Structure 1
Amino acid sequence: MLSYQHIYHAGNPADVHKHALLASMLRYLTRKDKPLSYLETHSGRGLYQLDAAEAQKTGEAEAGITALRSKFDADHPYVQALQAIRAEHGPRAYPGSPLLASTLLRKGDRLHLAELHPQEYAALSNTMLHKAKCHNQDGFEMAHKVAPPEPRRGILLIDPSYEVKSDYDTIPAQIAKLHKKWNVGVIALWYPLLTSGAHGPMLSQLEQGKFAGALRHEVRFPPVRAGHGMIGSGMFVLNAPYGTEAECASLNAVFS
């Protein structure tokens, strides 16, 4: 329990999928001259170095951001944010979604970030100092406490490690409750596509949840290393901003 550290997986193909789609949604939301809120339930440490021993041990970024970056247009917000972050933190830096979001957001926008792992929370607090309100608590508890946030416009990213296997069973009900409390919020759930099929029942429940206009997008890729059970990445989004479907189509080409 609480052993997961994303540094071993930072910048992998699933990160590229999730972060590119998140950046696209934030770009649209920030076009309006109105403040917004960004919430995240499983934040990690916020910033990773791909030449760290942990990242080098798995080498997952080589199949992810290293191989795929050239497939994005230079003006894509994901690429622009990555460039800005690497200019500040070094050429092998890779942002977690909290730092990616804060780079794309504006003064006046608010961030609430939850992380339960004590060491990851300490690193997150240091990375996001003066940029966000960090909560050392269960991410769903934070989301229910804050939602609906102020400002009311905004997005919630649910990005578990699924280290707690019961997440697959409990997430659909959590999303339903949060959507009821914050019906105008964009709620985005990331999930892995697994050879075990463990994600299947959760998705069936979500699809049966009668969320009007929900968007589901998946990309597939080879296992990043021998014996790895993740063969793709998915996002399930409620109240997806305009243009998200077009971004999904573009991501299909990136991963083709």
Structure 2
Amino acid sequence: MLSYQHAFHAGNLADVHKHALLAWVLDYLTRKEKPLSYIETHAGRGLYRLSAPEALKTGEAAQGIARAEDWFAPDHPYRLRLEEARAMYGADCYPGSPLIAALGLREADRLHLAELHPGEHAGLRAALDGWDADIRREDGFDMALALTPPTPRRGLMLIDPPYEVKADYERVPKVMAQVARKWNVGVQMLWYPILSGRGHVPMVLALERAFPQGLRHEVGFPPAREGHRMIGSGMFVVNPPWGIEDETARLSARFAPAG
């Protein structure tokens, strides 16, 4: 299935969770002079307009980044990437993870992106026009296995499938284990939705068995609208960088309901 389009959900609270942690980890990794590789398996279109009909229809950005931006200090990597994207693309833009990565990487770093959906792939190419990026229209899991271990060997992989079908949940632990065997120094960051049906639980338990030193971080929030099944956001990190527990604790405090 190739029906998922993130434009309806860009800038929601799950994006805030995912992108804040991604920006923080990239900032941590780029403090060392050694170059790194960034690999993203399901990139989307990379740049979204919060004034677009899709975003206005769901109202998820209005309940997400519009309310949550002040959670982050002006020098937080996520806040910096938001400001940089707006300066380049306009005040109504929201950067997806490929653009957040591109803005945070350095000249010597390498950027590899996969997106199978034809429309999203075309949008991704347009958004990153002029950037030195390896952009592929192919299955992201296949790219992950083909590229690892990458050159440079230091680096980060973001895994963010659409979870349109149950097979996504079943495939993730297998692919992440294969990647780890080939690239034991790589940081793997998996995002997953927390839905009312809790379909993520077997996947996460499998990951915790495979990666007992991994970091699991989940936040909850109210449904964006009546009948919406997403009630939270999760991240599972293999080879979590030092200090990430402090960052996840800050995020947990921000997502905690008032009172």
Q: Deviations over 1:198-217 (max 9, x none)?
A: 111111111121x1420000
Matched residue, 1:205: 206
**Counterpart-to-counterpart distance in 2, 1:114 and 1:99:** 13
Q: Which residue of 2 aligns with 1:67?
A: 67
CA deviation string 1:67-97 (max 9, x = no partner): 1111111110000010010011111100000
The SS at the match of 1:208 is helix
Secondary structure in 1 aligned to 2:48?
strand
Matched letter for residue 3 of structure 1: S
CA-atom RMSD, angstroms? 0.8
CA distance in 1, matches of 2:167, 2:212: 26
Is 1:112 matched with 2:112? yes
State the match for 2:127 in structure 1.
Answer: 127
* Displacement after TM superposition at 1:165 (Å): 2.1
Does the residue aligned with 1:69 lie in a helix, a strand or coil?
helix
- Return the letter of the residue paired with 1:70: D
| 2:180 aligned partner | 179
Structure 2 distance, partners of 1:218, 1:92, is 28
Q: Are 2:226 and 1:223 equivalent residues in the alignment?
A: no
CA distance in 2, matches of 1:135, 1:155: 17
TM-score, scaled relative to structure 2: 0.97
Point out where structure 1 has 5 or more consecutive residues left out of the alignment: none
In structure 2, what residue type is equivalent to 1:137?
A: E
Question: Is the contact between residue 114 and residue 139 of structure 1 (CA under 8 Å) also seen in structure 2?
Answer: yes
3-state SS of the aligned residue for 1:166? helix
Stretches of structure 2 that go unaligned for 5 or more consecutive residues are none
Q: Give the Cα–Cα distance (whole angstroms) in 1 for the partners of residues 85 and 17 of structure 2.
A: 18
**SS in structure 2 of the partner of residue 231 of structure 1:** strand
| CA distance in structure 1 between the aligned counterparts of 2:152 and 2:161, rounded to whole angstroms | 25
User: Which residue pairs with 2:194 in the alignment?
Assistant: 193
Q: CA deviation at 1:164?
A: 2.5
* Structure 1 residues 111-149: Cα deviation after superposition (integer angstroms, max 9, x where no partner): 000000011101111211233110100001111111111
Which residue does the alignment assign to 1:93? 93
4+ long deviations beyond 6 Å: none
Measure the CA separation in 2 of the matches of 1:253 and 1:62: 20
The answer to whether the Cα contact below 8 Å between 1:72 and 1:254 also exists between their aligned partners in 2 is: no
Equivalent positions of 1:5-84 (< 5 A) are 5-84=5-84
> CA separation in 2, counterparts of 1:203 and 1:82?
30
AA matched with 2:253:
A
Q: Which amino acid aligns with 1:231?
A: I
2:143 match: 142
**3-state DSSP of counterpart to 2:192:** strand
* Matched-pair contact (CA < 8 Å) for 1:45–1:127: yes
TM-score (normalised: structure 1)? 0.98
Measure, in 1, the Cα distance between the counterparts of 2:87 and 2:162: 29
Q: Name the amino acid aligned to 1:146.
A: L
Asked whether the equivalents of residues 16 and 64 of structure 1 are also in contact (C-alpha less than 8 Å), the reply is: yes
Partners in 2 of 1:239 and 1:203 — Cα distance? 16
The letter of the residue matching 2:245 is E
Name which of structure 1's ranges 121-130 and 229-238 shifts more when overlaid on structure 2. 121-130
Instruction: State how far apart, in whole Å, the 2-side matches of 1:253 and 1:91 are.
Output: 28
Find the aligned partners of 1:235 and 1:72 in 2 and give their Cα distance: 19
Counterpart Cα distance in 1 of 2:57 and 2:237: 32
Alignment: residue pair count = 255
Which SS does the other structure have where 1:94 is aligned?
Answer: strand
Residue 160 of structure 2 is matched in structure 1 by: 159
